[in-house]
Amino acid sequence: MHLVVHGSGVIVIQRVRVRWSAAERGAPEADARRGLNRPATLPAPLPAGEVVAHDVLADAAAAYARREDVVTGGPTIAESLALSLTVDGSAVTVERLPGRAAFPRSEMSTRLFTLTHGQVGRYRANFRFWSTHCACDPSWHYEDWVIHVSNGDVAPDRFLRGAPDRDVDNRVHLYGGSGRRG
């Protein structure tokens, strides 16, 4: 992938993840993590760069205290968030890269949306991951993701307010059964 951002453009990505173990699947634990996948205020000022990523994690192992990291750079920043960015003129196409999720499995990249300058896209998904990389230990952990991508500078609270211009919801029922509840 080659990313070239023309002019003074910047792509801002915020990934908010909530992580929990198989032991924390029950209703009381679900209540404890309810709403933790909401967007966060972007740090101000954001560092300069072609791509700026704000990665937020609320992990049950840390009592759901949010840990926030901000990184800046080029295409590898997006790839570290399981995304691919392709810029064509002033538009950016965002794809979800195949990952290491045990469920739902993704063997190939999936196009999420194309954003023109000034637009914001939102991608929602959830996953079940092997807690180890060995089938000899079949333990799981789960993650709920909300990713916002802005093609251009945004106000620190932009992901908190207003509807996104593009919205993709790929959440599934992670624990078995016929479907996901709304």
Could you write out the DSSP letters of every residue in 15-49?
A: EEEEEEEGGG-SHHHHHHHTTTTS--PPPSSPPPS
Q: Are strands 51-59 and 120-130 parallel, antiparallel or unpaired?
A: unpaired
d(CA 114, CA 155) in angstroms, rounded, equals 20
d(CA 182, CA 174) in angstroms, rounded, equals 13
Model pTM score: 0.86
Q: Quick one: pLDDT at residue 27?
A: 77
Contact 64, 33 (CB under 8 A): yes
Q: Which residues make Cβ contacts (< 8 Å) with residue 171, sequence separation at least 6?
A: 124, 125, 126, 144, 180
Find where tokens 């209540």 sit.
31
d(CA 115, CA 87) in angstroms, rounded, equals 10
Eight-class DSSP state of 5: -
**Nearest-CA neighbor of 42 among 11, 68, 75?**
68
Q: Quick one: pLDDT at residue 86?
A: 93
Side-chain half-sphere of 36: how many Cα atoms within 13 Å? 22
d(CA 18, CA 10) in angstroms, rounded, equals 26
DSSP one-letter string for 98-159: P---SBS---S-EEEEEE-TT-EEEEEEEEEEESSS-TTS--EEEEEEEEEEEES---TTTT
Q: Quick one: pLDDT at residue 137?
A: 60
Q: Quick one: pLDDT at residue 22?
A: 83
Q: Quick one: pLDDT at residue 180?
A: 47
Q: Quick one: pLDDT at residue 13?
A: 97
**Per-10-residue mean pLDDT, the chain, length 182:** 46 95 81 92 92 96 95 87 93 89 70 97 88 64 94 94 94 63 46
d(CA 87, CA 43) in angstroms, rounded, equals 25
